[in-house]
Amino acid sequence: MRLLKEKTNIDFMGKRRIALVFSAILIVAALVSLPTLGLNFGLDFTGGTEVEVRFNDAPDIGDVRQSLADAGMDDATVQTFGSSTDILVRIPPHEGDANADTQATQVIDALAADFTSGVEMRSSGFVGPQVGEELTEQGILAVIYALIGIFIYVMFRFQWRFSAGAVIAIIHDILVTLGMLAILQIGFDLTVVAALLAVVGYSLNDTIVLFDRIRENFPRMGKSTPKEVINRSVNETLSRTLMTSLTTLLVLIALFFFGGEIIHAFAWTLIVGVVVGTYSSIFVASVALMMLGVSKQDLMVVEKEGAEVDSMP
C-alpha cells in the first residue's frame, strides 16, 4: 500500500471539469427519469396482497410467473424466500379487486392447476396503501435527518466548507442511485430504503477519510496550492479507497447472484451506491472543496489573545 501511495500521482483535480460534466449528465438523467418513469414501488409502498406459497418440488420462477399471468395476474411479483420450494407472490392493488383472502385463493387455484406435484398456501395478508404513504414519508424524513446530522457533524469536526462538500457528494449519490432505479425499474421497497441509507453511510465514510488527509496535508504543504494539496491527498488515500470498494463489491456481487431474488434490489442498490460513492468522494466532494475556496487558513485554530500569558506559571 505504501508503494502505491509513493508511485501514484494522478492529476484528479485537472480532470475536474470532465467529472463535473459527467456528474451533471447523471443528475439530469436522474431528474428526468424520476418524474417521467417513476420509481417501481413495491407492495410496502403501494399496498396489495401478499401470499406465501410452498411447493412440494422446487418450481421454475418463470413458470410460476407465466401461470399467474395466464390467470390474469400478469403484474404479480414472484420471489423465492427461505428455500427453493417457498415462493412469495405479491399482487399490487387494482380498482374493483377482491379481498386478500379471495385473491390468495385465486393464486393457489392458478398454481395448483399448473403444478400437479402439490401447492399449499402458508399465509396471506393485505397491506393497505395508507401504510405505504406513511412509509414513504418516513423514508424521506430519514434521509433528510441523516443529511442534517451529517452536515452538523462534519462542520464541527472540520469546517463548513467540508460539510457542504460532504452533503453535496451524498445528494449526488442518492440522486444518481435513484435515477438508476427509475431507469431500470428496479423494485423499490423497504430493503432499498435501507440500502440507500447504507449508501449514505458508505459515501460519508469514504469522504471523511479523504477530508482527514486533506486537513493533515494543508499544514505540511504550506507553500502548495489547494489544488496540489487535494491532489496529493486523493492519491495518498487512493489505495485505501479502491481496496475498500473492491472488497465491498465482491461481497455485494456474491449477494446479488447467490442471495436469492428477494434481496436482488437491495444488493443491486448497494452495488450502484458503492461505485457512485467511490467516484463522488474523489470527483465531487473534493472538487466541491476547491469550488468553495478551501484554504489553509480555514483549518487554522485561532488562538485567544493572552493565551501565552495565561499559560505561564
Q: Which pLDDT score is estimated for 270?
A: 94
pLDDT tens, 286-299? Answer: 888 888 877 666 56
Q: 254 or 292: which carries more pLDDT confidence?
A: 254
2-39+131-299 sits in which CATH class? mainly alpha
pLDDT tens, 19-36? Answer: 999 999 999 999 999 999
% helix, strand, coil for the chain, step of 5 = 70, 10, 20
Q: Which pLDDT score is estimated for 66?
A: 85
pLDDT tens, 228-248? Answer: 888 888 898 888 888 999 999
pLDDT tens, 111-165? Answer: 888 887 788 888 777 766 655 667 677 777 877 887 788 788 877 877 788 888 8
How far is the C-alpha of 94 from the C-alpha of 103, rounded, in Å?
12
% of the chain exceeding 90 in pLDDT: 18
How far is the C-alpha of 290 from the C-alpha of 187, rounded, in Å?
37
Q: Which residues contact 24 (CB under 8 A, 6 or more apart)?
A: none
Q: Which pLDDT score is estimated for 131?
A: 58
Q: Is 60 exposed, middle or buried (0-12, 13-18, 19+ CB in 10 A)?
A: exposed
pLDDT at residue 53 above 80? yes
Residues 144/199, Cβ–Cβ less than 8 Å: no
pLDDT tens, 154-206? Answer: 778 777 888 888 889 989 999 999 999 999 988 888 888 889 888 888 888 88
Q: Is the full-model pTM beyond 0.85?
A: no
Q: Provide the grid cell at 104.
A: 390468495
Q: 259 or 229: which carries more pLDDT confidence?
A: 229
* pLDDT level of residue 59 (50, 70, 90 thresholds): confident
How far is the C-alpha of 313 from the C-alpha of 307, rounded, in Å?
12
Residues 68/74, Cβ–Cβ less than 8 Å: yes
From residue 17, alpha-carbon distances to 14, 46, 170, 279, 292 in Å are 8, 41, 19, 14, 15
The average pLDDT across 30-51 equals: 84
Q: Which pLDDT score is estimated for 95?
A: 58
Amino acid at 191: T
Q: Which residues contact 215 (CB under 8 A, 6 or more apart)?
A: 158, 299
pLDDT at residue 18 above 80? yes
Q: Is 119 exposed, middle or buried (0-12, 13-18, 19+ CB in 10 A)?
A: buried
How far is the C-alpha of 177 from the C-alpha of 30, rounded, in Å?
8
Lowest mean pLDDT among 23-27, 77-81, 108-112: 77-81
Q: Provide the grid cell at 188.
A: 423499490
Q: Which pLDDT score is estimated for 189?
A: 81
Helix, strand or coil, per DSSP, at residue 81: strand
* pLDDT level of residue 310 (50, 70, 90 thresholds): very low
pLDDT at residue 3 above 70? no
Q: Which pLDDT score is estimated for 306?
A: 45
Neighbours of 231 (CB within 10 A): 21
Helix, strand or coil, per DSSP, at residue 75: coil
Q: Which pLDDT score is estimated for 94?
A: 63
48-127 sits in which CATH class? alpha beta
Mean pLDDT score of the chain? 81
Q: 125 or 110: which carries more pLDDT confidence?
A: 110
What ranges do the domains of the chain cover? 2-39+131-299, 48-127
Q: Which pLDDT score is estimated for 278?
A: 92
pLDDT at residue 271 above 80? yes
